[in-house]
A and B are shown apart, each in its own frame.
Chain A
């Protein structure tokens, strides 16, 4: 059960995230629809609205945008701290608010696919349905599992955003820049290392093991299932575990949040 304070903070954070999301969407519409439409009017070239609608994957777009928004929480923390809100309540409310917003995002994505003409059918545009859509004999079960997976995945990715964003919040601006530089350098060194050792036997063995792990994670451990009939059990477990790690990880990190002097 939520306390009145937790409810208030959740409502506040949910509204904030929603407004930010709508703001981004508004500018995306301006950038991807209105500006091309205006240009097409000037050029006398009709805008391919049908193509635009067909290629707009609202669910995936919101999936990405919401997890991006989840990265930034320090501004909210400052305001909530000023208003007598504890770190624990902030964490709890943020988790709940992002559950709401990511679920809403996926529902909107599905409705967009179902209601807007020229879109591929939901079954065909869903990655889940493509990989696991024939796992159960009952099609309704497959659809319900897909819905659960999409909502869960969107939420866990948003939780990942909260977790990673929280870690970065612990550092000063200068430290964050240094971390980015360090990560970029490690990335370059890592890629060079992989490239240089690609021909070695030990690496081939390692690559084979990684490939096996990936097959296991996507639900095709035996590597003989057909696309659409992969077993979704492991992906469900993996995503649940990731959710638990992000959830408790963010709690630990947010408990160390403090006001920065920058």
Chain B
């Protein structure tokens, strides 16, 4: 049960953006969908929300095809950087329209959030700055009755204070409603602690999928003198390296077998999500 994405492919002209994506979003989790610019994250989210069509593959929610099914689509809200709200409409009216179309809307919560973010709901959408447009869309995302909320770059234009406030509200909302949130962001460091599961997408394919804890358990930095580090890392999946003076470090993903003897000169520590992401998605020649 949940949202199942099966073998999704998307081609724009000659450019293949998604190359057979398979993934599943189960209810009641916070997912991170991570990828570099142009990796295909937004395209994938737009396909899931039936905004565009895939070249091949299907998206189902609880077994029902999402595209052209109101009962499936009403369970999904996609907050994207694209503005689909009419510029000339006042925010209050947009909330009313959202209520009319989604069937219900938590006005009390929306008003509370608007006050916290200092957003005047009497303004027209087109008059808002990029940051406040994001805030408005985040408020809607947190107040609609959708079970699956997709947030595509929710931090766009938000200052540090507003981002902090948003993370807090997101966690509170999650704790109360236990809805599924799927966050696509470049601010991995800030989101890392909120995520339960992660998908890393590179060149239109899923590179890593799983519980954040399990994924990070397989990611190491092996540091020490270059010769010792290279010897110890032999046969492991080295995804990157760096050096600082005499200290050399290899980034490894896929685990380290227990039988391997760790020399005294070499240290072994786990990576954080951002470091893992950078090393996994670096192109050749990038450091």
Contact = CB atoms under 8 A, between A and B. Distances in A.
Interface of A: 3-5, 8-9, 11-12, 75, 78-89, 255-256, 258-259
B138 interface: no
8 contacts: A5-B70, A84-B75, A84-B102, A85-B70, A88-B68, A258-B52, A258-B53, A259-B51
A75 B86 contact: yes
Interface of A is mostly: helix
Interface string B62-99: 00000111100111111000101110000000000110
Nearest to A3: B70
Contacts of A84: 70, 73-77, 101-102, 146
A256 to B, nearest CB: 8
Nearest to B87: A75
Interface of B: 46, 49-53, 67-70, 73-78, 82, 84-86, 97-98, 100-103, 146
B82 A259 contact: yes
A78 B84 contact: yes
Contacts of A8: 100-101, 103
A187 B52 CA distance: 34
A85 B68 contact: no
The 9 nearest A-B residue pairs measured at CB = A83-B101, A82-B84, A84-B73, A259-B51, A84-B74, A78-B84, A86-B68, A258-B52, A5-B70
A83 B52 CA distance: 15
B133 to A, nearest CB: 13
Instruction: Output the residue of A5, A9, A84, A88 with the most chain B CB within 10 A.
Output: A84
Contacts of B46: 259
Nearest to A80: B101
Given A79-B84, A83-B98, A84-B102, 8 more contacts: A12-B97, A12-B101, A75-B86, A83-B101, A86-B50, A255-B68, A258-B51, A258-B52
A256 B49 CA distance: 15
B84 A81 contact: yes
Instruction: Output the residue of B53, B69, B73, B76 with the most chain A CB within 10 A.
Output: B73
B60 to A, nearest CB: 14
A212 B77 CA distance: 57
Contacts of B101: 5, 8-9, 12, 80, 83-85
Contacts of A75: 86
A3 to B, nearest CB: 7
Contacts of A88: 68, 70
Nearest to B89: A79
Contacts of B85: 79, 82
Contacts of A81: 49-51, 84
Contacts of A79: 84-86, 97
Contacts of B86: 75, 79
Contacts of B100: 8, 11-12
A89 B100 CA distance: 14
A217 B51 CA distance: 42
A5 B68 contact: no
B92 to A, nearest CB: 15
Nearest to B79: A82
Contacts of B53: 256, 258
Nearest to B98: A83
Nearest to A258: B52
Contacts of A11: 100
A81 to B, nearest CB: 6
A78 B87 CA distance: 12
Contacts of A9: 101
Contacts of A256: 53
A4 B74 CA distance: 12
A4 B78 CA distance: 22
A11 B99 CA distance: 13
Given A258-B52, A259-B51, A259-B52, A86 B73 contact: yes
Nearest to A261: B82
B205 to A, nearest CB: 22
B97 A83 contact: yes
Nearest to B96: A12
B8 to A, nearest CB: 15
B62 to A, nearest CB: 15
